[in-house]
Amino acid sequence: MGGATYLTGNYAPVATEVTATDLEVTGAVPPDLAGRYLRTGPNPFAAQADTYRWFAGDGMVHGVDLHGGRPRWYRNRWVRSPEASAHLSAADVPHEEGGWYPGSGNTNVFAHGGRILAVTEGSLPYELTGELDTVATRNFGGPLPAGINAHPKFDPSTGEMHVMSYGFANPAVRYHVIDPAGALLSTVDIDLPAPVMLHDMGLTASRVVLFDLPVRPGARTGRRTPALPLAPRQRGPRRAPAQGWHRGRRRVDRRRTVLRLPPAQRVRRP
């Protein structure tokens, strides 16, 4: 699906923040189900349909509070990143030191150390109140110069949170353990031949699993314009799998292949 698909219909960004208390229920909420169900995702203030990607945009957290067999409220709030605060004419929230950039909190929301945290990888998580208002970014007592990855893992036997961070300089990866109270407990530097994007990770009873993925971040790569070809998939034969590794070191998604080819194979723009 193209960028326009994720800006229309049920995918369209929500234009306002809402607090609703008189909620209609279809069926029944189990009386023993108590707590808050939260989710976060991109909700851009403005986006260009021809360039938008579904994972980009200002973070918005949605929540439902369940208690006594009924929903007590639904609400949605933009995470108050610097961009969101400026758009909403709101005061900036405090930012602790760390992360490549402020982030938007649009990728994952979780609880640890008595805090609700929304995060985009490469940045520090934003702490939210129980009513989803943004408090500040948190570095767990840091330093966390590269922030954390989007999907930390939790050890149920110790209550510790395990996270990875990655960046452009050595060490390429750092592995952090956050104690149950939310304080940085330990950091291990991991040397790799090149920086690697670590969106996720794994955790077992005795091992932490680092994914050595083919997506390699780099400052030079970020400044380059992807070379052709951009091959649409609507017509003609398929010449590449929907997902796969290619020596061109660019992405392959369901609609088009984006490859950086050697100079002799590049296609000139008309």
**Annotated binding site for Fe cation: which residue ranges?**
151, 199
DSSP state of 236: S
CA distance 19 to 130: 13
Looking at the chain, the number of H-run helices and the number of E-run strands are 2, 16
DSSP string spanning 66-82? EETTEEEEEEEEE---H
Whole-angstrom CA distances from 130 to 22, 64, 79, 262 are 19, 11, 13, 52
Residue 108's DSSP bridge partners are 119
Distance between CA atoms of 109 and 125, rounded to whole angstroms? 9
Report whether 213 contacts 194 (CB < 8 A).
Answer: no
Least Cα distance to 145 among 84, 110, 98 occurs for 98
Which positions make up the binding site?
151, 199
